[in-house]
């Protein structure tokens, strides 16, 4: 009895870690989905083939990443590394559960060697790309990545944690293979001959003098470190900009399909306008007990898609680096707009977890997180939306907040109020008489 | 050139093939009025039966909407749609990308369904059909660059039509560093035209004009009345108005077009 338990102890331990890691992740995802659901409903389950195509191109194919070639190519390497090395993780998980070693090797034969060999090359590529990214971030050549402004403090630390973790995970993977390779050549029991080690072969000489026990320990240490690291990283995602590796897919799937210039109709406003134009119309009684609100003051006034946008933001700053307002020194940064939406959503989500689903504090997205000065700097030029590699639409958030400023708080800049009254009274944004509208015909 | 209103045509029991939506800038702004004239003469030259709404036209509502005044936008839109639908208008051409975007994309949700063209698209069509003749010597040896209007380019994905029009007149286009999808805004969109810019280090139109100056054009072509104002101001700021002309596509084309026979050009 006793020895049998001992024999299965690692399997049991692994099973527990695996269940804990994936269970905690599932629990976190519930929290994320609940937060996104704080947004207003919006039906986007239409035009599915078109949506699948956009997702395939933009998320899977990274079509918007490669518009900047260096960052694009490096990113593709890390991303392929992530996706493809997951096949290896599947084997690692099964090995952990079954107590086997390189479970797939006997079934795949030569193909197994090819796979392991290419994983190694990718892993080395990932390390190089992550180093390049660290240098770009801290070398100061790339304005949008500097640890100042929007990225001051946590967002920059987050980026470094991600890059460092990826380097560590890949190093563990390669070291594990190196130890395994030495054990294989020594013909140690359990370490079947399998795999090709084009990269880690270079590390093998380091361990040539090690004892068998030492090597087995190193191999096991790296194996556990790698898989526990992955489980921990998985649970780090929901707290990080790195969440985009998952959310880029739903977010591009639910991309805006209308032309970028088209703003959505505010239905609450339409009801009011219809009533104003038709005095006979009765306010529909179902909705009249709650005062309709116009535009967005807080995250709960945004749609779930705008909230999903915020969780998907990679904080890459491509939007801000193309923004005419930001480029000319105005306070507005579309990246910061999306980061503010996320911060506020997380805050309100936490509060509602504690105090119930309808709780509101006295803070608001508008005012406490995003100021009117930022909003009034926007030219609605859509450069941000065009640049975003995961099809985020910061303009819609900006306009929704402006709607609240104008229609709820009458807080437009004086010049815009003058423009409004001209449009209303003269049918033009300037003070000209509508009777003169066609005078240009006779002028030379 | 005789310009008729839709109401006048209706009195004759006719309705126009195409409505020229002039827009507020095209009606009241001095620089934009020249564009309206140029487009009017091109439409006539091409033998289009067209008309304007005249006093029955009103602001499309675009500046109100971008500034957050959805009420006012919807009021204006519904009012315009009533007029347009009343005359059974089907095809609209406009030289303002903001009107273009609003009429084309935002009126349908309120019951206004029209085939809407930005004038670059309509002119391209007329050129392709051979309905406008070009004298190639007019701008010979001149260097041109084109500033994409945000509401034509990114907002509606139209980058080719204005370039096709320019290429009929000029051998090639000297592109600015940021052009097409990456073109920098002139600074006027989103109702900025009607307010002071927020506090910053620089005006957007200055930044954009600097970029245009770097390609040393003789002509800075635009396709939007607000871009025309912003970039003209920018060129003036650098005291380059003697050397660089900011001109709309319609003006360029009207000047390059073969002259209209005397008999038609009266009025
Ligand atoms: S739409 Fe507004 S926020 Fe986006 S790039 Fe243009 S000015 Fe900046
Ligand atoms: S909104 Fe898009 S472009 Fe801007 S920082 Fe986020 S991911 Fe990057």
* Any A CB within 8 A of B267 CB: no
Q: Are A378 and A395 in contact (CB under 8 A)?
A: yes
Q: Which residues pair with A171 in a beta bridge?
A: none
* Any A CB within 8 A of B67 CB: yes
pLDDT at B265 over 60: no
- What is the pLDDT confidence band of residue A291, given thresholds at 50, 70 and 90? confident
Please report the pLDDT score of residue A280 as a whole number. 75
Residues of chain B with Cβ-Cβ distance to A265 below 8 Å are 74, 106, 109-110
What value does the mean pLDDT of chain B take?
A: 94
**B6, containing H or E segment:** helix B6-11
Q: Alpha-carbon distance A68 to A62, whole Å? A: 11
Distance from CA of A336 to the nearest CA of B (A): 17
Average pLDDT over residues A145-150: 90
Q: Report DSSP state, residue B192.
A: G
pLDDT at A311 over 60: yes
Q: Distance from the CA of A341 to the center of ligand 2, in angstroms?
A: 13
* Non-local CB neighbours of A263 within 8 Å, separated by 6+ positions: A396, A399, B65, B66, B106
For tokens 């990080």, the residue is: A240
pLDDT in tens, A83-109: 777 788 888 889 888 888 889 988 988
Give yes or no on whether B6-126 and B135-256 have one common fold: yes
Average pLDDT over residues A99-122: 90
Among the residues of A37-104, which ranges form H helices? 48-54, 69-98
Q: Alpha-carbon distance A299 to A372, whole Å? A: 16
Q: Alpha-carbon distance B56 to B71, whole Å? A: 20
Architecture of domain B6-126: 3-Layer(aba) Sandwich (3.40)
pLDDT in tens, A264-284: 999 999 999 988 887 776 665
Neighbours of B133 (CB within 10 A): 12
pLDDT in tens, A359-372: 999 999 999 999 99
Hey, which residues 112-151 in chain B have their CB within 8 Å of chain A?
150-151
Of A258, A327, A430, the CB nearest to B24: A430
Q: Distance from the CA of A334 to the center of ligand 2, in angstroms?
A: 8
Of A263, A373, A424, the CB nearest to B65: A263
pLDDT in tens, A314-362: 999 999 999 999 999 999 999 999 999 999 999 999 999 999 988 999 9
The share of chain A scoring above pLDDT 90, in percent, equals 75
pLDDT in tens, A406-415: 999 999 999 9
The CATH code of domain B135-256 reads: 3.40.50
Lowest mean pLDDT segment, chosen from A65-69, A132-136, A385-389: A65-69
Closest listed ligand to the CA of A332: 1
ipTM of the complex: 0.94
pLDDT in tens, B7-26: 999 999 999 999 999 999 99
Query: Which has the closest alpha carbon to A434: B54, B39, B261?
Result: B54
Query: Which has the closest alpha carbon to A145: A326, A317, A312?
Result: A317
3-state class of B46 per DSSP?
coil
Distance from CA of B52 to the nearest CA of A (A): 9
Q: In what order do the strands lie in the sheet with B18-21?
A: B50-51, B18-21, B91-94, B115-118
Half-sphere exposure of A378 (CA within 13 A, CB side): 30
Please report the pLDDT score of residue B134 as a whole number. 92
Of A383, A418, A435, the CB nearest to B55: A435
Among the residues of A186-240, which ranges form H helices? 212-236
pLDDT in tens, B180-221: 999 999 999 999 999 999 999 999 999 999 999 999 999 999
Please report the pLDDT score of residue A278 as a whole number. 79
Please report the pLDDT score of residue A1 as a whole number. 47
Extents of the domains making up chain A: 68-253
- Ligand 1 pocket test target in A382, A392, A399, A400 with most atoms within 8 Å of CB: A382
Please report the pLDDT score of residue A3 as a whole number. 61
CB-defined site of ligand 1, < 6 Å: A 322-325, 332, 334, 378-384, 394-395
pLDDT at B149 over 80: yes
Q: Report DSSP state, residue B222.
A: E
pLDDT in tens, B97-118: 999 999 999 999 999 999 999 9
Strands B115-118 and B91-94: parallel
Q: Alpha-carbon distance B214 to B177, whole Å? A: 9
| Token pair of A374 as six digits | 């930022």
Chain A residue with the nearest C-alpha to that of B207 = A328
Extents of the domains making up chain B: 6-126, 135-256
Q: Alpha-carbon distance A108 to B185, whole Å? A: 56
For tokens 């050009």, the residue is: B265
The share of chain B scoring above pLDDT 90, in percent, equals 94
pLDDT in tens, A30-77: 999 999 999 999 999 999 999 999 999 999 989 999 888 889 999 999
Of A262, A327, A441, the CB nearest to B3: A441
Q: What is the DSSP string of B254-266?
A: HHHBPPPPHHHH-
Residues of chain A with Cβ-Cβ distance to B29 below 8 Å are 430
* Non-local CB neighbours of A211 within 8 Å, separated by 6+ positions: none
Please report the pLDDT score of residue A315 as a whole number. 95
Decide: A339 in ligand 2 pocket, CB within 6 A.
no
* Non-local CB neighbours of A430 within 8 Å, separated by 6+ positions: A422, B24, B28, B29
Please report the pLDDT score of residue A244 as a whole number. 95
Please report the pLDDT score of residue B266 as a whole number. 42
Please report the pLDDT score of residue A181 as a whole number. 93
Distance from CA of B89 to the nearest CA of A (A): 19
Average pLDDT over residues A143-165: 93
What value does the mean pLDDT of chain A take?
A: 92
């Amino acid at each position: 009895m006793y020895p049998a338990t001992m024999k299965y102890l690692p399997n049991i331990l692994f099973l527990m870690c695996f269940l804990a890691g994936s269970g905690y992740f599932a629990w976190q995802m519930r929290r994320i989905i609940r937060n996104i659901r704080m947004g207003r409903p919006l039906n986007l389950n239409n035009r599915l083939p078109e949506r699948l195509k956009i997702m395939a191109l933009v998320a899977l194919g990274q079509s918007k990443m490669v518009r900047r070639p260096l960052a694009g190519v490096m990113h593709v390497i890390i991303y392929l590394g992530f996706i493809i090395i997951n096949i290896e993780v599947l084997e690692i998980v099964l090995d952990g559960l079954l107590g086997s070693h390189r479970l797939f090797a006997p079934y795949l034969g030569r193909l197994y060697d090819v796979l392991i060999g290419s994983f190694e090359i990718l892993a080395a590529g990932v390390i190089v790309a992550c180093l390049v990214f660290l240098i770009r971030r801290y070398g100061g050549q790339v304005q949008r990545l500097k640890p100042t402004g929007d990225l001051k403090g946590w967002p920059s630390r987050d980026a470094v944690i991600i890059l460092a973790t990826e380097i560590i995970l890949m190093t563990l993977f390669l070291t594990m293979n190196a130890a395994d390779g030495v054990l294989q050549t020594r013909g140690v029991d359990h370490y079947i001959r399998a795999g090709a080690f084009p990269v880690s072969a270079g590390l093998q000489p380091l361990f040539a003098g090690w004892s068998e026990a030492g090597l087995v320990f190193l191999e096991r240490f790296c194996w556990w470190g790698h898989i526990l690291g992955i489980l921990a990283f998985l649970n780090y995602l929901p707290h990080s900009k790195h969440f985009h590796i998952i959310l880029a897919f739903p977010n591009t799937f639910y991309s805006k399909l209308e032309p970028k210039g088209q703003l959505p109709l505010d239905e609450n406003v339409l009801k009011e306008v219809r009533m104003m134009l038709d005095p006979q119309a009765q306010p529909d009684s179902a909705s009249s007990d709650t005062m309709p609100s116009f535009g967005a003051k807080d995250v709960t006034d945004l749609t779930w898609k705008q909230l999903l946008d915020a969780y998907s933001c990679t904080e890459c700053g491509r939007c801000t680096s193309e923004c005419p307002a930001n480029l000319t020194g105005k306070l507005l940064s579309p990246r910061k707009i999306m980061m503010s939406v996320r911060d506020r959503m997380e805050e309100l989500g936490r509060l509602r977890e504690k105090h119930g689903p309808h709780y509101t504090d006295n803070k608001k997205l508008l005012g406490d997180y995003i100021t009117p000065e930022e909003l009034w700097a926007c030219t609605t030029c859509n450069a941000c939306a065009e640049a975003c590699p995961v099809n985020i639409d910061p303009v819609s958030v900006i306009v929704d907040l402006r709607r609240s400023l104008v229609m709820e708080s009458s807080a437009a800049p004086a010049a815009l109020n003058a423009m409004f009254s001209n449009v209303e009274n003269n049918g033009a944004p300037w003070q000209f008489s509508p009777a003169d509208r066609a005078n240009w015909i006779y002028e030379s | 050139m005789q310009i008729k209103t839709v109401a006048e045509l209706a009195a004759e029991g006719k309705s126009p093939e195409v409505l020229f939506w002039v827009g507020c800038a095209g009606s009241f702004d001095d620089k934009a009025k020249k564009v309206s004239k140029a487009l009017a003469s091109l439409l006539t030259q091409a033998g289009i039966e067209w008309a304007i709404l005249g006093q029955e036209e009103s602001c499309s509502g675009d500046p109100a909407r971008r500034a957050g005044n959805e009420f006012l936008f919807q009021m204006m839109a519904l009012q315009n749609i009533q007029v347009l639908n009343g005359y059974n208008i089907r095809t609209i051409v406009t030289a303002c990308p903001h009107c273009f975007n609003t009429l084309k994309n935002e009126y349908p949700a309120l019951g206004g369904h029209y085939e809407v063209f930005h004038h670059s698209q309509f002119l391209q069509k007329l050129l392709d059909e051979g309905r406008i003749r070009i004298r190639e010597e007019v701008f010979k040896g001149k260097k041109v660059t084109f500033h994409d209007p945000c509401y034509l380019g990114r907002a509606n994905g139209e980058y080719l039509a204005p370039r096709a029009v320019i290429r009929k007149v000029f051998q090639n286009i000297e592109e600015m560093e940021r052009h097409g999808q990456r073109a920098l805004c002139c600074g006027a969109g989103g109702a900025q035209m009607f307010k002071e810019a927020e506090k910053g280090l620089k005006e957007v139109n200055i930044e954009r004009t600097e970029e245009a100056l770097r390609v040393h054009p003789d002509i800075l072509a635009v396709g939007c009345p607000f871009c025309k104002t912003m970039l003209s101001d920018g060129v003036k700021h650098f005291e380059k108005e003697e050397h660089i002309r900011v001109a709309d596509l319609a003006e360029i084309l009207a000047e390059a077009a073969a002259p209209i026979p005397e008999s038609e050009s009266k009025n």
